[in-house]
Amino acid sequence: MSDRNKKVAGYALVCVLTMIIGFFIAMQIKTTAVTGDYAGGMVSLAQAQASISEVANLRAEKDELNDELSKLEAQLKEYEKNSSEAAAADAEKYRMLAGLTDVAGKGVVITVDDPEAIYTQGGDSIITYNYELLLALVNKLREAGAEAISINDRRITAYSEISLAGSNININGSATAPPYEVKAIGDPQTLESTLGIRYGVLYSMKNDYGLSVQIAQKSEINIPRYTGRTSFKYAAPTEGE
Protein backbone atom coordinates (compact mmCIF):
# COMPACT_ATOMS: atom_id res chain seq x y z
CA MET A 1 0.00 0.00 0.00
CA SER A 2 2.73 2.47 0.90
CA ASP A 3 4.56 1.33 -2.24
CA ARG A 4 1.54 2.24 -4.28
CA ASN A 5 1.32 5.62 -2.53
CA LYS A 6 4.95 6.29 -3.40
CA LYS A 7 4.22 5.50 -7.03
CA VAL A 8 1.29 7.89 -7.12
CA ALA A 9 3.37 10.62 -5.47
CA GLY A 10 6.09 10.03 -8.10
CA TYR A 11 3.56 10.39 -10.93
CA ALA A 12 2.18 13.53 -9.36
CA LEU A 13 5.68 14.98 -9.20
CA VAL A 14 6.29 14.08 -12.86
CA CYS A 15 3.02 15.76 -13.70
CA VAL A 16 4.01 18.93 -11.83
CA LEU A 17 7.49 19.09 -13.36
CA THR A 18 6.24 18.52 -16.91
CA MET A 19 3.69 21.19 -16.24
CA ILE A 20 6.56 23.55 -15.49
CA ILE A 21 8.14 22.58 -18.81
CA GLY A 22 4.89 23.20 -20.62
CA PHE A 23 4.52 26.53 -18.89
CA PHE A 24 7.97 27.61 -20.00
CA ILE A 25 7.38 26.38 -23.53
CA ALA A 26 4.24 28.50 -23.70
CA MET A 27 6.12 31.48 -22.31
CA GLN A 28 8.90 30.97 -24.81
CA ILE A 29 6.40 30.85 -27.65
CA LYS A 30 4.79 34.04 -26.39
CA THR A 31 8.11 35.79 -25.99
CA THR A 32 9.33 34.90 -29.46
CA ALA A 33 5.95 35.82 -30.91
CA VAL A 34 6.27 39.29 -29.37
CA THR A 35 9.79 39.85 -30.64
CA GLY A 36 9.30 37.78 -33.79
CA ASP A 37 7.59 40.57 -35.71
CA TYR A 38 10.58 42.74 -35.34
CA ALA A 39 13.27 40.13 -35.90
CA GLY A 40 11.44 38.23 -38.61
CA GLY A 41 11.44 35.01 -36.63
CA MET A 42 13.47 33.56 -33.81
CA VAL A 43 16.93 35.04 -33.72
CA SER A 44 19.03 33.62 -30.95
CA LEU A 45 20.78 35.93 -28.56
CA ALA A 46 24.17 34.68 -29.66
CA GLN A 47 23.41 35.36 -33.33
CA ALA A 48 22.12 38.84 -32.58
CA GLN A 49 25.18 39.64 -30.54
CA ALA A 50 27.45 38.34 -33.26
CA SER A 51 25.73 40.61 -35.77
CA ILE A 52 25.99 43.59 -33.44
CA SER A 53 29.68 43.13 -32.91
CA GLU A 54 30.18 42.58 -36.64
CA VAL A 55 28.51 45.90 -37.41
CA ALA A 56 30.64 47.64 -34.78
CA ASN A 57 33.79 46.06 -36.19
CA LEU A 58 32.96 47.06 -39.75
CA ARG A 59 32.22 50.61 -38.64
CA ALA A 60 35.53 50.87 -36.85
CA GLU A 61 37.24 49.40 -39.88
CA LYS A 62 35.60 51.93 -42.17
CA ASP A 63 36.65 54.82 -39.93
CA GLU A 64 40.17 53.51 -39.83
CA LEU A 65 40.33 53.17 -43.59
CA ASN A 66 38.97 56.68 -44.03
CA ASP A 67 41.66 58.00 -41.71
CA GLU A 68 44.27 56.10 -43.62
CA LEU A 69 42.95 57.45 -46.90
CA SER A 70 43.19 61.05 -45.76
CA LYS A 71 46.66 60.46 -44.35
CA LEU A 72 47.88 58.92 -47.59
CA GLU A 73 46.38 61.72 -49.59
CA ALA A 74 48.05 64.30 -47.42
CA GLN A 75 51.29 62.47 -48.05
CA LEU A 76 50.65 62.45 -51.77
CA LYS A 77 50.01 66.17 -51.72
CA GLU A 78 53.29 66.65 -49.91
CA TYR A 79 55.14 64.74 -52.59
CA GLU A 80 53.46 66.68 -55.35
CA LYS A 81 54.35 69.98 -53.73
CA ASN A 82 57.93 68.89 -53.51
CA SER A 83 58.10 67.75 -57.11
CA SER A 84 56.95 70.95 -58.85
CA GLU A 85 54.49 73.81 -58.51
CA ALA A 86 52.99 73.28 -61.95
CA ALA A 87 52.47 69.57 -61.47
CA ALA A 88 50.83 70.22 -58.10
CA ALA A 89 48.39 72.73 -59.60
CA ASP A 90 47.60 70.29 -62.38
CA ALA A 91 46.93 67.46 -59.95
CA GLU A 92 44.70 69.69 -57.85
CA LYS A 93 42.67 70.62 -60.90
CA TYR A 94 42.15 67.00 -61.91
CA ARG A 95 41.19 66.07 -58.38
CA MET A 96 38.56 68.79 -58.43
CA LEU A 97 37.32 67.55 -61.79
CA ALA A 98 37.05 64.04 -60.43
CA GLY A 99 35.22 65.25 -57.34
CA LEU A 100 38.01 64.17 -55.01
CA THR A 101 38.22 67.45 -53.07
CA ASP A 102 35.79 69.13 -50.74
CA VAL A 103 34.61 72.27 -52.44
CA ALA A 104 32.83 75.41 -51.26
CA GLY A 105 31.20 78.28 -53.06
CA LYS A 106 27.90 79.95 -53.83
CA GLY A 107 25.04 78.11 -55.39
CA VAL A 108 21.61 76.69 -54.66
CA VAL A 109 20.18 74.09 -52.31
CA ILE A 110 17.11 72.23 -53.49
CA THR A 111 15.18 70.11 -51.01
CA VAL A 112 12.83 67.54 -52.50
CA ASP A 113 10.52 65.63 -50.19
CA ASP A 114 7.46 63.43 -50.37
CA PRO A 115 4.08 65.10 -49.83
CA GLU A 116 2.95 65.42 -46.22
CA ALA A 117 0.33 62.69 -46.75
CA ILE A 118 2.98 60.00 -47.27
CA TYR A 119 4.29 60.65 -43.77
CA THR A 120 0.93 60.96 -42.06
CA GLN A 121 -1.05 58.32 -43.92
CA GLY A 122 1.70 55.99 -45.07
CA GLY A 123 2.36 54.67 -48.55
CA ASP A 124 5.36 54.29 -50.81
CA SER A 125 7.72 57.21 -51.18
CA ILE A 126 6.86 58.94 -54.45
CA ILE A 127 10.22 60.55 -55.00
CA THR A 128 12.12 57.35 -54.27
CA TYR A 129 10.14 55.33 -56.79
CA ASN A 130 10.42 58.15 -59.35
CA TYR A 131 14.12 58.60 -58.88
CA GLU A 132 14.50 59.59 -62.55
CA LEU A 133 13.28 62.99 -61.38
CA LEU A 134 16.50 63.37 -59.41
CA LEU A 135 18.49 62.33 -62.47
CA ALA A 136 16.65 64.93 -64.52
CA LEU A 137 17.37 67.50 -61.83
CA VAL A 138 21.08 66.70 -61.85
CA ASN A 139 21.06 66.90 -65.64
CA LYS A 140 19.42 70.34 -65.54
CA LEU A 141 21.90 71.55 -62.93
CA ARG A 142 24.73 70.51 -65.21
CA GLU A 143 23.09 72.28 -68.10
CA ALA A 144 22.96 75.42 -65.98
CA GLY A 145 26.67 75.17 -65.37
CA ALA A 146 26.82 73.67 -61.88
CA GLU A 147 30.42 72.90 -61.00
CA ALA A 148 29.82 70.53 -58.12
CA ILE A 149 26.67 68.65 -57.15
CA SER A 150 25.79 66.46 -54.20
CA ILE A 151 22.63 64.69 -53.10
CA ASN A 152 22.36 64.09 -49.34
CA ASP A 153 26.11 64.74 -49.17
CA ARG A 154 26.90 62.09 -51.76
CA ARG A 155 29.06 63.78 -54.35
CA ILE A 156 27.87 63.35 -57.90
CA THR A 157 30.85 62.44 -60.08
CA ALA A 158 31.15 61.26 -63.65
CA TYR A 159 30.65 57.70 -62.34
CA SER A 160 27.86 58.28 -59.86
CA GLU A 161 24.68 56.30 -60.20
CA ILE A 162 21.26 57.31 -58.97
CA SER A 163 19.22 54.15 -58.89
CA LEU A 164 16.50 52.42 -57.00
CA ALA A 165 17.72 49.65 -54.70
CA GLY A 166 14.99 48.06 -52.63
CA SER A 167 13.06 50.92 -51.06
CA ASN A 168 15.98 53.32 -51.09
CA ILE A 169 17.90 55.25 -53.65
CA ASN A 170 21.53 54.29 -54.03
CA ILE A 171 23.99 57.03 -54.85
CA ASN A 172 27.65 56.12 -55.10
CA GLY A 173 26.71 52.70 -53.82
CA SER A 174 25.30 53.96 -50.54
CA ALA A 175 21.62 54.01 -49.70
CA THR A 176 19.79 57.22 -48.93
CA ALA A 177 16.21 58.23 -48.25
CA PRO A 178 13.99 61.31 -48.52
CA PRO A 179 14.17 64.21 -48.02
CA TYR A 180 16.74 64.60 -50.75
CA GLU A 181 18.87 67.68 -50.36
CA VAL A 182 20.52 68.55 -53.64
CA LYS A 183 23.39 71.03 -53.38
CA ALA A 184 24.88 72.63 -56.43
CA ILE A 185 27.70 75.13 -56.69
CA GLY A 186 27.47 77.55 -59.59
CA ASP A 187 25.95 80.91 -60.40
CA PRO A 188 22.90 80.94 -58.10
CA GLN A 189 20.86 83.18 -60.39
CA THR A 190 21.42 81.02 -63.46
CA LEU A 191 20.85 77.82 -61.55
CA GLU A 192 17.58 78.95 -60.03
CA SER A 193 16.15 80.42 -63.21
CA THR A 194 17.10 77.36 -65.25
CA LEU A 195 15.42 75.07 -62.78
CA GLY A 196 12.41 77.28 -62.21
CA ILE A 197 11.38 77.33 -65.84
CA ARG A 198 7.71 76.61 -66.51
CA TYR A 199 7.04 72.91 -67.26
CA GLY A 200 10.63 72.26 -66.17
CA VAL A 201 11.75 69.55 -63.78
CA LEU A 202 10.85 71.36 -60.54
CA TYR A 203 7.48 72.35 -62.00
CA SER A 204 6.84 68.72 -62.88
CA MET A 205 7.90 67.52 -59.40
CA LYS A 206 5.47 69.93 -57.78
CA ASN A 207 2.51 69.75 -60.11
CA ASP A 208 2.66 66.26 -61.61
CA TYR A 209 3.92 64.34 -58.58
CA GLY A 210 2.76 66.57 -55.72
CA LEU A 211 6.21 66.65 -54.15
CA SER A 212 7.35 69.32 -51.76
CA VAL A 213 10.17 71.26 -53.43
CA GLN A 214 12.17 74.11 -51.94
CA ILE A 215 14.94 76.00 -53.66
CA ALA A 216 17.21 78.48 -51.92
CA GLN A 217 20.16 80.51 -53.12
CA LYS A 218 23.11 80.36 -50.77
CA SER A 219 26.30 82.38 -50.72
CA GLU A 220 28.28 79.56 -49.12
CA ILE A 221 27.70 75.88 -49.79
CA ASN A 222 30.01 73.11 -48.76
CA ILE A 223 30.02 69.99 -50.89
CA PRO A 224 31.96 66.99 -49.62
CA ARG A 225 34.33 64.99 -51.76
CA TYR A 226 33.69 61.59 -53.27
CA THR A 227 35.19 59.03 -50.87
CA GLY A 228 35.03 55.94 -53.05
CA ARG A 229 37.62 54.71 -55.49
CA THR A 230 37.50 54.75 -59.24
CA SER A 231 39.76 52.31 -60.99
CA PHE A 232 39.86 51.35 -64.63
CA LYS A 233 39.65 47.68 -65.43
CA TYR A 234 38.49 47.75 -69.02
CA ALA A 235 39.22 51.19 -70.37
CA ALA A 236 42.78 52.11 -71.38
CA PRO A 237 44.00 55.33 -72.97
CA THR A 238 44.76 55.13 -76.70
CA GLU A 239 47.81 56.76 -78.24
CA GLY A 240 47.66 59.55 -80.85
CA GLU A 241 44.93 60.19 -83.31
* Interaction site with other proteins (CB under 8 A): 6, 9-32, 34-35, 44-46, 49
Cβ-based neighbours of 211, under 8 Å, separated by 6 or more? 112, 113, 114, 115, 126, 127, 133, 205
Alpha-carbon distance of 225 to 63, in angstroms, equals 16
Is 129 strand, coil or helix?
helix
**Burial class for 46, CB neighbours closer than 10 Å (0-12, 13-18, 19+):** exposed
**Cα distance between the two ends of the chain:** 112
CB of 6 to other proteins, least distance (A): 8
CB of 58 to other proteins, least distance (A): 18
CB of 51 to other proteins, least distance (A): 14
Gyration radius of the chain's alpha carbons: 29
On the question of a cis peptide bond just before residue 178, with omega within 30 degrees of 0, the verdict is no
Closer to other proteins by Cβ: residue 25 or 177:
25
CB of 7 to other proteins, least distance (A): 9
CB of 33 to other proteins, least distance (A): 9
Closer to other proteins by Cβ: residue 55 or 76:
55
CB of 20 to other proteins, least distance (A): 6
Angle 224-118-123 (CA atoms, 0-180°, nearest 5)?
110
Per-residue exposure over 139-173, b if at least 16 CB sit within 10 Å of its own CB, e if not: ebbeebebbbbbbbebbbbeebebeeeeebbbbbe
Is 164 strand, coil or helix?
strand
